[in-house]
Chain A
Amino acid sequence: MSASMILLASYPKSGNTWLRILLSNLLYPAEAPISINDIRVGGFACDRRELFDQLAPWDASDLNLAQVDTFIPEVYREALQQRQQPVYLKTHDMARRNPQGEWIFPGDCVAAAIHIVRHPLDVLPSYAKHFGLSHAEALECMLAPEQRSSKLLIRDKRRLPEQHGSWSEHTASWQDPELPFPVYRARYEDLRRNPQQEFGRLLRAIGLNFSEQELATALEYSSFQALQQQESQSGFKERLRKSAAPFFRKGVIGSGRQEVEYELQQCLLETLATELTVWGYDSEQP
């Protein structure tokens, strides 16, 4: 009997790392507060070529993206056979099917997914700083269909390219009613405003029960200030070399309104108006 995966899904710069650190502090309390350079949860290595090249029939470097997608379900199945406990996989990939029609995250491998969505206007400045782009370039990427990480992270050949898609494609893909596993969703803003309640809800949904006190302690260890302090003291290995700011930059709700040029804000809000309504962002200012 092989293990199963719990997916931690989000568009980049939407709170995924925060969730991984919180889960690490909860699941490994003896090591808490967890070092940001030793995050224990979410690193199941399927986003890395190393695992693909060991388990798939061909080298990823010989394949195009569609061919890589063809073999990804097999790679997950093989990798999970070697595990006993459930594994957590952080992903910025769109949920999608491969050319053979199989979900790249197959239903027989995934127990559940947590999907975090953040207001795209707040994602924008963070995304720009992270990838070393201007706000205009970042907006172009966020709106570009079939966007993938290799266009932004070309220097790191050890990773398999992630197909983020546009913000809109990504977000819609994780709402697909045909996804073969349950998806539990949360908005980043709600996690920030009511962390105890919202994280508690997500954790219970994936079968993790912690006391109020355990969750409160883990939230304290995972607070933005604590993470910023760790990064300023010891750096963060997941920060890209091209980043123009610390990884844990602001994390403030509504920072996009202050930081992003007015015309770009308007472009983003108008282009994504439908999605913003779906996520309840139309009735509130970020």
Chain B
Amino acid sequence: MLTLPLEACEVTLTDQATELPGPWRLDRPHWKARRGLMWIRIPGLAEYTVRDGRQIDVYPLSSETSALNLQHFLLSTPLAAISLQRGELPLHAATLVSPDNNEAILVCAHSGTGKSTTAAALCQQGWRLMNDDISRLNLHEGRILVWPGVNQIRLWPESCELLSLDTEQLAFSQGMKKKLLWQPEADTTPRPVRAIIELVRPRKEGLTELETGWQTVNGSAAIGLLKLHTFRPPLIAALEASLSHFQISAQLAQNVTLERLTLSPELTPQQVAALIAERWI
């Protein structure tokens, strides 16, 4: 059973490839998009066609493709595309809910920086998980809300070790990599966004105090940051979602605190989580 954490969305498994004539605004061998339509292939595995914010057709390319693998990739770029088609902003971010005031904090970062590990460390300190990888934001009755999605965290085995998680008790996630799934306490209520934090971890060691710590991101820099961390930036223009994307970004830049936290490479996940909790509880 293929499902998305969305209302009014139909996911259909099909045994026929979809014929889609051009022209396309995004036209690449494995990825095409225009207003209301995106087609994407993962070679040897499956093709996904995403239409009008309501419908996704999934076409397995091999009889050996498991339903779990199809579901795994469905929750990646197809989810981001359908979110953009609905006029939302799918941010490549984890969403955590504070144990004290029920406010949602989003943590975004470039891949490999430690977003999921930080999210897991916060959950170990009492925060609740709303999303691990893609956080859908939209304008709802004049406020920006973040919506609940997948409430599992995918962690590398080394991260589990840093977090003292018993890997024997964890299942492997789908996809091509040997990541493990950890299920912390979840939060399933849409919530206003309190803050968005960008984690940055420079490669250089021995950073000075001036080079690490918190930095507020305002105005056009904030809008740029939100575009950079949108899940699949090329889709914004390709799906002609630039206007709605900008409207949400501008609201966020105006009403929500955006901060960059530059980390010293030596910090443990627990120390990073403590820095965030200290500032935002």
Contact = CB atoms under 8 A, between A and B. Distances in A.
A61 interface: yes
B24 interface: no
B110 to A, nearest CB: 4
B140 interface: no
A59 B132 CA distance: 14
A64 B176 contact: yes
Interface residues of A, number: 31
Interface in B107-148: 110-113
Contact of A57 (B30, B113, B204): B30
A217 B214 CA distance: 41
Interface stretch (B3-11, B15-23, B70-78, B240-248): B70-78
Contacts of B219: none
A61 B29 CA distance: 20
Interface stretch (B186-194, B226-234, B251-259): B226-234
A50 B115 CA distance: 13
A99 B43 contact: yes
B271 to A, nearest CB: 17
Contacts of B177: 61-64
B76 A238 contact: no
B156 interface: yes
A156 B112 contact: yes
Nearest to A50: B110
Contact of B203 (A55, A100, A238): A238
A168 to B, nearest CB: 28
A59 B175 CA distance: 11
User: Looking at A53, A74, A100, which has the most chain B CB atoms within 10 Å of its CB?
Assistant: A53
A53 B176 contact: no
Contacts of B265: 241
A231 to B, nearest CB: 13
A159 B112 contact: yes
B121 to A, nearest CB: 16
B176 A54 contact: no
A237 interface: yes
Given A55-B234, A57-B30, A74-B29, A157 B73 contact: no
A62 B73 contact: yes
B31 interface: yes
Given A59-B111, A62-B175, A74-B30, 19 more contacts: A50-B110, A50-B112, A54-B228, A54-B233, A54-B234, A57-B232, A61-B175, A62-B73, A64-B176, A64-B177, A67-B176, A74-B29, A155-B158, A157-B112, A158-B111, A158-B113, A158-B201, A235-B205, A237-B202
Interface in A116-162: 154-159
Return the 5 tightest CB-CB contacts between A and B, nearest first. Answer: A157-B112, A158-B112, A237-B204, A64-B176, A57-B31
Contacts of B275: none
A99 B42 CA distance: 13
